Amino acid sequence: MLNSANFRGYGDDWKDEMRSFAHYKLMKSMKSVDPAKCKNIFNYYSRITWLAFITRIQQMKKEDHNKMEYIDNIDYLQQGKEYITT
């Protein structure tokens, strides 16, 4: 699924994170699924994997945004310190 066109542009580190998160979600969902009631178990697990990929992408984008804001604030603070010391 990671080789589909929707996820092809992401780097290996992002794909590893997405894969790990999907494994976690699949293991967590195994407790709640009843194979007798589920007509298409493959579809169920594929959907969980897909949603895990999307969720992890959103989380990583948010983390990257927060990191960039932090870096921008550090640069701003360092510039302020330079102005104070000179």
Range of the domain at 45: 12-85
Cβ-contact 41, 28 below 8 angstroms? no
Tokens representing residue 40 in the block = 């298409």
In a domain, 32, yes or no: yes
* pLDDT score recorded for residue 77: 63
In a domain, 5, yes or no: no
> What is the radius of gyration, based on Cα positions, of the chain?
20
Q: Is residue 22 part of a domain?
A: yes
User: What integer best gives the mean pLDDT of the chain?
Assistant: 84
Q: The whole model's pTM is what?
A: 0.72
53 in any annotated domain: yes
In a domain, 1, yes or no: no
Task: List pLDDT tens digits, range 42-84.
Answer: 888 999 999 999 999 999 999 988 888 888 777 666 665 655 5
Residue 50 belongs to a domain: yes
Residue 40 has what pLDDT?
87
Which band of pLDDT confidence, cut at 50, 70 and 90, is reported for residue 85?
very low
Considering its fold, how many domains does the chain have in total?
Answer: 1
